[in-house]
Structure 1
Amino acid sequence: MDKEIIEHGFSWNRRRFLSAMSIGVGSMALGSLLMPDLLSGAGAEEGWAPGVPHFAPKAKRIIYLFQNGAPSQQELFDYKPKLREMHGQEIPPSVRGKQRLTGMTANQSAFPLVGSFVDFKQYGQSGAWISDLMPYTAKIADELCIIKSMYTEAINHDPALTFLQTGAQQGNRPSMGAWLSYGLGNENNNLPAFTVLLSRGVGNGQGVYSKLWSNGFLDSVHQGVQFSKGEDPVLYLRDQDGMSRESRRIMLDQIAELNEKSYLEFGDPEIASRIQQYEMAYRMQTAIPEVMDISKEPESIVKLYGPDCLVPGTFAANCLLARKLSENGVRFVQLYHQGWDQHGNLPYEIAQQAKDVDQASAALVMDLKQRGLLDETLVIWGGEFGRTSYTQGELTKDNYGRDHHPRCYSIWMAGGGIKPGIVYGETDELGYNIIKDPVHVHDFQATVLNQMGLDHKKLIFKHLGRRYRLTDISGEVVRNIIS
């Protein structure tokens, strides 16, 4: 190290410190600010460097409208008139097979089928059947790819949710947004590459935990940043009273110098990540208030999303913020809307949940399209698994519930190079088993990465002697839904 640097230590500012280092820790730390995994050797064995797509992407960003708790496909997108015909009859053993049951229905003596209380109509050129609970979504049928043949391996909420978001049913794995941040880097240096927004409806709300947007074993710079509905959208971002921007800058410069010295001594790449996080927080202090401000949105946009978009913390408000974050370069915006876990009182609760999300979900797609952003933005809507065709508990005239069902469920995708106006996959006449074009969770994940220009078999990180990827050791891109 330059002798003058050692002698004068803290009298040097950060700019002078870095400029004096033509090679060594200064350059390495600076490089890590631009490409966090530059020093990790990640991707070298695959002939690929993080921050560069494997091939030309069809989408630049993703907005994932996750419906936490598992929406019932029979009430939304998977129309089954046969269920109504057989309402109250025992599900045939040939249909049910030897499916694993949850503890909530394992002791039931009977499993009567229950037809949906809601009517369906066909929409768009594809003739997609969409529930009367989703009138706004029905209007954008020609923009949607409705997948009715999703299936998963987990039967309970936490492992199923974790599996869909991280590719494993246990924790401590990088989430999908973290993998995308690692694989593609950041598009806007003033905002994180991966953000999370939470909202809650009237129904039973399953828990949402930070492990769902964790960086896992990737550098911590890739973890999702949760935004709150309060006065401070990002906690601990605001300067304390009495601290000026100049004071904050001086403090960060000196912390950076200490961290850079520590990196030279210990070689821990997490130190470089910490430097970048401090710098990102400083830049976010200016960028976040502007992005989170919806007061300048025209009346036409408020009308499009509905009046709830003016109420912080609602699903509608989060959809509008997702559009603003996305158009400002945030690569992955994850929304979680809780309340879809309807084991009982389903007719009332699902109607309220649908009302919460229907208008804003459709508005987001239309808003992106009118701004010329839909083609390069992949929008995803769906939960962690489906619901049973039989009722949980007692079946009455006006009330019923549905238990967890991993064998099949429905989601939709729009934009981002996905074929619009199609329905993919098919379930049997009772909506219990897939009979055409099954899509496993890992297939879904592989397809999402593909649209972003990443080969899921090459997006690998070596950890504790093992090569990890989002799709584990399986998954195939669903080519028939790609335009």
Structure 2
Amino acid sequence: MPTNTNCAGFSRRDSLQLGLGALLGGGLLTAFRARGFAAEAVNAPAARAKSCILIWMDGGPTHFETFDPKPDAPEEYRGEFKAIPTAVPGVHFSEHMTRLAKGLSKFAMIRSIRHEQGNHGAGNHYMMTGAPPRIPVGCGAFVSFHPSMGSVVAHEKPASGGLPAYFSLPSMTRSGGPNFLGAKYAPFVVAEDPSGRNFKVRDVALPEGLTGERFDDRTGVRSDVDSLKRFMDKAAGDPALALDEHYKQAYDLMNSKPAQAAFDIAREPTKVRDTYGRNGFGQRLLLARRLVEAGVPFVTVNDGGWDHHSDLFGALRKRLPSWDQSVSALITDLEERGMLDSTLVIALGEFGRTPKISTLQGQTKPGRDHWANAMSVLFAGGGTPGGTVVGATDRKGFAAVERVLAPENFVSTVYTKLGIDPNKILYNPNGRPAHLVSDPTPIKELM
């Protein structure tokens, strides 16, 4: 199975083709918003961070071989990798997470989030939105019952300088859309690979042969701009209106000096680019840093290929060293630039992996299967106390047993850090209320 797909057969490229529902319109929404402005001003928490970089480990990363090894468990549970000490006495990571182990004093680990959505579609939605699916969904489903974190942040914390408030690289996650907030708050997708020599974002440069004067004539160049390759929410209630929003974003981007500068990754010193790693993932993290530096409040790096039902150890021996290098470089770079306190860095997937190594689904090389009873989440920045480890799983990694937390607590923490009240009520175009998060309690150890 290619490394960028999961067991349902969906690749990262598929998410460029499958949009998530976004209802457009007004109805009673304006009246409800007006009524709620005063309450929002009182309830909004003080922001500790201005932006968030979400590293989405699509497919469900193993907690055993990353941040929660079980060296005292029997071999069929602990696996082939050794545990190594971290900067925090008594806390161990897996052997290939060497840089992050040394740097644990700069970030926190959550080891005790659990839920009951053990397939990709449902688990992705729950962790990306803080809302469990309303009905049973299939493993390969792209579902949207609630706005994603990125869309909510874009709605509440707009960017300036002609930049979209929400980016997703190189594709949108399956539940990363705006739902009833509308296409305006869908992610701006940058599919191009910034590690390539000729990296160029199509929507940032004017189409060939289009002068600035001609571009300013909106009606005269509509057909040119409409031809730009741009993410389109095909399930939107009014595709014509959705296209209008995307046209406006393309127009703004082309005239935005901050956008032009943010995407010019070649300006980065060679040493910095090398530190992040000369690969697609590493350079996307560097681009994410440049985007938040330019004022973008939410960037998702959609990192697929963590669905290791087979060849778990062979695949991770190749992948983890460079992944560890890139994520560690991002945290260190933000700290050295004085940006870590104002930027959240989060790494997680939809769930963890089974405690017992298996050869299910006819696989010949051992792997681990879906497991929602335990998972690990890396959480840095925005005033998060470094060296903090929240919760624990049992000796064999079966379940979270200490300080058990839910996805709602995780998402509420992100919103609170960004100055958004997780208990806020939004209204869909029909005037129906929806709480951002049903349990708005953040994780106190991270505050």
With structure 2 as the length reference, what TM-score do the two structures score?
0.79
Q: Which residue of 2 aligns with 1:216?
A: 179
Name the counterpart of 1:476.
Answer: 441
1:235 CA displacement: 4.8
1:155 partner SS = coil
Letter in 1 for 2:116: E
Q: Deviations over 1:24-64 (max 9, x none)?
A: xxxxxxxxxxxx99983454343448899813200100001
Q: Find the counterpart in structure 2 of residue 381 from structure 1.
A: 347
Separation of aligned partners in 2, 1:135 and 1:367: 17
**CA distance in structure 2 between the aligned counterparts of 1:399 and 1:273, rounded to whole angstroms:** 46
Displacement of 1:65 in angstroms is: 0.9
1:189 paired to 2:161? yes
Amino acid aligned to 1:197: L
**Corresponding residue of 2:136:** none
Q: After superposition, where does 1:34-433 map in structure 2 within 5 Å?
A: 40-41=30-31, 43-48=33-38, 54-83=44-73, 86-87=74-75, 113-166=76-129, 167-169=131-133, 170-186=143-159, 188-198=160-170, 211-229=174-192, 234-235=201-202, 238-251=205-218, 277-285=246-254, 286-287=256-257, 288-306=259-277, 308=278, 311=279, 314-393=280-359, 399-433=365-399
In structure 2, how many angstroms separate the alpha carbons of the residues matched to 1:269 and 1:401?
A: 44
**Change beyond 3 A, Cα 1:160–1:189:** same
Further displaced range: 156-165 or 315-324 = 156-165
* Alpha-carbon contact 2:204-2:260 (below 8 Å) kept: no
Question: How much identity, in percent, do the aligned residues show?
Answer: 28
Alpha-carbon distance in 2 for matches of 1:352, 1:44: 54
The amino acid across from 2:98 in the alignment is: P
Count of aligned positions: 390
Offset at residue 353 of structure 1 (A): 2.4
Supply the distance in 2 between the matched residues of 1:372 and 1:420 (Cα, whole angstroms).
15
CA distance in 1, matches of 2:27, 2:411: 22
Q: How many angstroms does 1:77 deviate by?
A: 1.2
Q: Give the letter for the 1:295 counterpart.
A: A
Name the SS of the counterpart of 2:113 in structure 1: strand
In structure 2, relative to structure 1, the CA distance for the partners of 1:336 and 1:276 (3 Å cut) is closer
346-355 vs 377-386, which moves further: 346-355
Tell me which amino acid in the other structure corresponds to 2:302. Answer: Y
**What SS does the corresponding residue of 1:212 show, helix, strand or coil?**
coil
2-side partners of 1:244 and 1:326: how far apart?
A: 30
Change (3 A) 1:272 1:324: same
User: Given residue 272 of structure 2, which amino acid in structure 1 is its aligned partner?
Assistant: I
Q: Which amino acid aligns with 1:145?
A: A
8 Å CA contact retained: 2:150, 2:187: yes
What is the alpha-carbon distance in structure 2 between the residues aligned to residue 436 and residue 42 of structure 1? 41
Q: Deviations over 1:51-110 (max 9, x none)?
A: 998132001000011111111111111121232xx23xxxxxxxxxxxxxxxxxxxxxxx
Report deviation, 1:459: 4.5
Amino acid at match of 2:320: A
Conservation of the 8 A alpha-carbon contact between 1:51 and 1:183: no
Asked whether the equivalents of residues 147 and 411 of structure 1 are also in contact (C-alpha less than 8 Å), the reply is yes
- When residues 456 and 175 of structure 1 are mapped into structure 2, their CA distance, relative to the original with a 3 A threshold, is same
Q: Deviations over 1:366-409 (max 9, x none)?
A: 00011000001000011110011112227xxx952111100011
- Provide the TM-score with structure 1 as the length reference: 0.73
In structure 2, the partner of 1:94 is none
User: 1:103-162, CA deviations, whole angstroms, 9 ceiling, x for partnerless residues?
Assistant: xxxxxxxxxx43221111222145421111111212211011111111122111122112
Greater CA radius of gyration, 1 or 2?
1
SS state at 1:78 partner = coil
Q: For 2:425 and 2:98, locate their aligned partners in 1 and report how far apart those are by CA, in whole Å.
A: 39
What letter matches 2:34 in structure 1?
Answer: A
- Please give the per-residue CA displacement for 1:156-198, whole angstroms capped at 9, x wherever unaligned: 1122112211334342532111011112222x23211000013
AA matched with 2:169: L
C-alpha distance in structure 2 between counterparts of 1:130 and 1:409, whole Å: 14
Give per-residue Cα distances to partners, 1:276-310, cap 9 Å, x unaligned: 6544322312444432222221233123213x1xx
- For 1:359 and 1:374, the matched residues in 2 are separated by 17
Contact 1:53 1:184 in 2 (8 A): no
Distance 1:419 1:133 in 2: 24
The Cα of 1:209 is off from its aligned counterpart by 5.3
Q: Report the RMSD for the aligned CA atoms in angstroms.
A: 3.1
